[in-house]
C-alpha cells in the first residue's frame, strides 16, 4: 500500500522502516508556507500549530497519491492524543477518506499498538520485521549522535554552510546505503570522515557559548517549523543541543520501561521540585531539561512552544522562578503561522547578548552576582542607549 506520514526531523527513518517492509512510500514534502496555509485553512481555528502543519502535510501527501497515513499518538492530557481523530474528520470533510494508523505509547495502550503493528507488518515474517526495527533503531541513534556533532561543530566552521551541506549528504548516505543493521556502523564511519574533513576555528573553552533547546517535541525537532533555529544559533557562533531527539522518543515511548535505557526517566525526576505531576505533552520534560542543561554547564535555555499549548504555557509560568534561582537565562518563543525569521533573529541576538553578558561577568567577578541584578543592569543600559532614560 502507498503510505505517508507527518514530516518531522529525520524523516528518512520512517521511510526506511516502511520501505524495508515492502510498502510504497510517498514522501511528504518538507513543510513550507503552502503547507501552513493549507493547515490553517482546514484546521480548527484554535488548534495548536503542529496540528495545523500536519493537516497541511497530510493534504499534500494525499495529493501525491498516499492511501494510508501513519502517525504517533500523544501523552496524557494533551490535544496531541486527539490529533488523528481531528485529522480524520478534517480530511473526510474535504473529500479524503483515508485510513490513519496510530502508534500510541506502548504503556498507554498495548493492544492498540499491537493492532497498528500488524497493519504495518502486512505479510512480512516476524524475522524480517525484527530486522527492520533493529535497523531503524540503530539508525536513529547513529543519526542523532551525528546531528549533535553537527550542531556543535557548525558554530565554529571556517566556511559557512559546509556542515549544513554535509548533514544533508549524511542523510542521503543513510537513505541510499543502509539496508540492514550491519550497514549502520559502516555508514556512520563514512559520515564521521565527512564531518572530520571540515575545518573549524579553534575557540578557547571559556569563550564558547552553549544553548539548550526545550519545549514541545514537534516545534523542537522540525526545523521548517521553528525557523531553522539551530542553524541560526550556530551561525551566531553558539553550540546547540535539543531536549528532544527521535531515538530518545523511541526509547521512552515504544520500549517497555523495564528494558528501556532512556535517560528521560532521570529528567522527569529532576523536574519534580518544580512540577510534581505530568500535565501532558512534554511540559515536565521541558522543566527537567532546564535543570539538566544547567547541571551540565550550559549558558542559556530557549523554550519553544506552539501558540496556545497549555502544557508548555504551564511550564512557561514556572520558568522565571527557575531562571532566577538557578541563575541561567531562559527565552520563551511562541511558534505559530504568524512568526517570521526577522522576528526570531532579532530576539535571538538580543538574548545572546544577555547570555554572554552574564557568562563573562561571572567569569570576571569573584563575588556572586544574581541573575536578576545583571538582567536589570542590561535593561537600564539598553533603555539609556535608546534615549528612554
**pLDDT tens per residue, range 115-172:** 888 888 889 999 999 999 999 999 999 999 999 999 999 999 999 999 999 999 999 9
48: three-class secondary structure by DSSP: coil
In angstroms, rounded to a whole number, what is the distance separating the alpha carbons of residues 71 and 60?
A: 15
When pLDDT is averaged across residues 191-200 and rounded to a whole number, the result is 97
The DSSP element (H or E) to which 191 belongs, if any, is helix 181-196
Q: Are 180 and 81 in the same domain?
A: no
Q: Are 66 and 112 in the same domain?
A: yes
Indicate if the pLDDT at residue 386 is higher than 50: no
pLDDT at 388: 43
In angstroms, rounded to a whole number, what is the distance separating the alpha carbons of residues 230 and 222?
A: 10
Q: Are 278 and 191 in the same domain?
A: no
pLDDT band at 375 (very low <50, low <70, confident <90, very high): low
pLDDT at 389: 38
User: Which of 203, 238, 271 is a domain's end point?
Assistant: 203
Span of 12-26, 69-83, 291-305 with lowest mean pLDDT: 69-83
Q: Taken in order 315, 84, 217, 130, is the CA torsion positive or negative? A: positive
Indicate if the pLDDT at residue 66 is higher than 60: yes
Higher pLDDT, 127 or 46: 127
Q: Are 203 and 291 in contact (CB under 8 A)?
A: no
Cell readout for 345 is 533573529
pLDDT at 379: 58
For helices 126-153 and 246-253, the axis angle rounded to 10 degrees is 140
Q: Which residues pair with 333 in a beta bridge?
A: 304
Q: Are 362 and 319 in contact (CB under 8 A)?
A: no
Q: Are 120 and 248 in the same domain?
A: no
pLDDT band at 95 (very low <50, low <70, confident <90, very high): very high
Q: Are 164 and 210 in contact (CB under 8 A)?
A: no
**pLDDT tens per residue, range 306-360:** 988 889 999 999 999 999 999 999 999 999 988 888 889 999 999 999 999 999 8
Q: Are 259 and 354 in the same domain?
A: yes
Cell readout for 116 is 497498528
Indicate if the pLDDT at residue 17 is higher than 60: yes
Q: Are 230 and 370 in the same domain?
A: yes
**pLDDT tens per residue, range 179-194:** 999 999 999 999 999 9
Higher pLDDT, 132 or 373: 132
CATH code assigned at 110: 3.40.50
pLDDT band at 215 (very low <50, low <70, confident <90, very high): very high
Q: Which residues pair with 209 in a beta bridge?
A: 238
Higher pLDDT, 258 or 64: 64
pLDDT band at 257 (very low <50, low <70, confident <90, very high): confident
CA angle 351, 227, 382 (to 5 degrees): 20
Output the pTM of the full model: 0.89
Percentage, residues of the chain above pLDDT 70: 91
E strand segments, the chain? 2-4, 24-25, 68-72, 99-103, 209-215, 238-242, 300-306, 330-335
Q: Which domain holds residue 146?
A: 125-203
Cell readout for 94 is 474535504
Cell readout for 100 is 490513519
In angstroms, rounded to a whole number, what is the distance separating the alpha carbons of residues 323 and 294?
A: 10
Q: Which residues pair with 71 in a beta bridge?
A: 102
For the chain, what is the mean pLDDT?
A: 90
In angstroms, rounded to a whole number, what is the distance separating the alpha carbons of residues 245 and 231?
A: 16
Cell readout for 55 is 493537516
pLDDT at 72: 84
User: Which of 77, 105, 124 is a domain's end point?
Assistant: 124
pLDDT at 384: 39
Q: Are 214 and 323 in the same domain?
A: yes
Q: Are 371 and 313 in the same domain?
A: yes
Percentage, residues of the chain above pLDDT 90: 70
Q: Are 22 and 115 in the same domain?
A: yes
pLDDT at 262: 87
In angstroms, rounded to a whole number, what is the distance separating the alpha carbons of residues 162 and 153?
A: 11
Indicate if the pLDDT at residue 381 is higher than 60: no
The DSSP element (H or E) to which 345 belongs, if any, is helix 341-364
**pLDDT tens per residue, range 264-321:** 999 999 999 999 988 888 999 999 999 999 999 999 999 999 988 889 999 999 999 9
Q: Are 119 and 129 in the same domain?
A: no
CATH code assigned at 314: 3.40.50.11900
Among 150, 158, 238, residue whose Cα is nearest residue 194: 150
Sheet (strand 2-4) strand order: 24-25, 2-4, 68-72, 99-103
Q: Are 317 and 264 in the same domain?
A: yes
Q: Taken in order 78, 82, 87, 93, is the CA torsion positive or negative? A: negative
Residues with Cβ within 8 Å of 13's Cβ and at least 6 positions away in sequence, in order, are 136, 139, 140, 143, 246
Q: Taken in order 250, 252, 253, 254, is the CA torsion positive or negative? A: positive
pLDDT at 82: 80
In angstroms, rounded to a whole number, what is the distance separating the alpha carbons of residues 3 and 18?
A: 8
Split into its structural domains, the chain has a count of 3
When pLDDT is averaged across residues 347-375 and rounded to a whole number, the result is 78
Main-chain dihedrals φ then ψ at residue 4, nearest 5 degrees: -135, 180
**pLDDT tens per residue, range 104-127:** 766 667 777 788 888 888 899 999
Q: Are 388 and 306 in the same domain?
A: yes
Indicate if the pLDDT at residue 366 is higher than 80: no
Q: Which residues pair with 331 in a beta bridge?
A: 302
Higher pLDDT, 253 or 104: 253
Q: Are 48 and 306 in contact (CB under 8 A)?
A: yes
Main-chain dihedrals φ then ψ at residue 2, nearest 5 degrees: -90, 115
pLDDT at 371: 62
User: Which of 91, 124, 157 is a domain's end point?
Assistant: 124
Rg of the Cα atoms in the chain: 22
Amino acid at each position: 500500500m502507498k503510505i505517508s506520514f507527518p514530516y518531522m526531523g529525520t524523516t528518512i527513518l520512517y521511510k526506511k522502516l516502511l520501505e524495508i517492509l515492502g510498502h510504497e512510500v510517498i514522501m511528504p514534502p518538507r513543510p513550507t508556507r503552502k503547507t501552513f496555509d493549507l493547515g490553517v485553512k482546514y484546521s480548527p481555528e484554535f488548534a495548536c500549530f503542529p496540528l495545523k502543519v500536519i493537516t497541511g502535510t497530510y493534504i499534500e501527501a494525499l495529493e501525491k497519491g498516499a492511501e494510508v497515513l501513519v502517525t504517533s499518538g500523544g501523552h496524557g492530557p494533551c490535544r496531541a492524543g486527539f490529533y488523528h481523530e481531528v485529522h480524520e474528520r478534517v480530511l473526510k470533510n474535504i473529500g479524503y477518506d483515508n485510513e490513519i494508523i496510530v502508534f500510541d505509547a506502548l504503556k498507554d495502550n498495548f493492544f492498540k499498538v499491537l493492532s497498528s503493528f500488524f497493519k504495518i507488518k502486512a505479510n512480512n515474517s516476524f524475522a524480517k520485521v525484527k530486522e527492520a526495527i533493529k535497523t531503524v533503531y540503530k539508525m536513529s541513534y547513529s543519526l542523532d549522535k551525528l546531528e549533535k556533532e553537527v550542531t556543535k561543530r557548525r558554530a565554529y566552521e571556517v566556511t559557512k554552510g559546509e556542515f549544513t551541506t554535509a548533514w544533508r549528504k549524511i542523510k542521503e548516505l543513510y537513505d541510499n546505503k543502509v539496508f540492514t543493521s550491519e550497514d549502520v556502523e559502516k555508514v556512520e564511519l563514512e559520515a564521521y570522515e565527512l564531518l572530520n574533513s571540515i575545518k573549524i576555528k579553534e575557540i578557547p573553552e571559556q569563550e564558547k557559548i552553549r544553548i539548550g533547546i526545550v519545549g514541545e517535541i514537534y516545534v523542537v525537532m522540525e526545523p521548517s517549523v521553528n525557523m531553522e533555529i539551530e542553524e541560526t544559533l550556530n551561525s551566531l557562533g553558539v553550540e546547540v543541543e535539543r531536549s528532544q531527539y527521535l531515538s530518545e522518543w523511541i526509547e521512552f515511548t515504544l520500549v517497555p520501561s523495564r528494558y528501556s535505557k532512556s535517560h528521560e526517566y532521570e529528567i522527569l525526576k529532576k523536574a519534580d521540585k518544580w512540577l510534581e505531576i505530568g500535565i501532558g505533552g512534554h511540559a515536565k520534560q521541558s522543566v527537567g531539561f532546564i535543570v539538566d542543561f544547567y547541571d551540565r554547564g550550559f549558558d542559556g535555555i530557549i523554550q519553544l512552544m506552539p501558540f496556545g499549548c497549555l502544557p508548555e504555557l504551564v511550564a512557561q509560568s514556572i520558568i522565571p522562578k527557575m531562571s532566577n534561582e538557578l541563575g541561567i537565562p531562559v527565552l520563551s518563543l511562541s511558534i505559530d503561522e504568524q512568526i517570521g525569521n526577522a522576528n526570531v533573529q532579532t530576539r535571538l541576538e538580543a538574548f545572546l547578548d544577555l547570555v554572554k553578558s552574564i557568562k563573562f561577568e561571572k567569569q570576571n567577578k569573584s563575588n556572586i552576582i544574581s541573575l536578576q541584578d545583571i538582567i536589570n543592569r542590561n535593561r537600564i543600559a539598553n533603555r539609556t542607549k535608546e534615549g528612554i532614560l
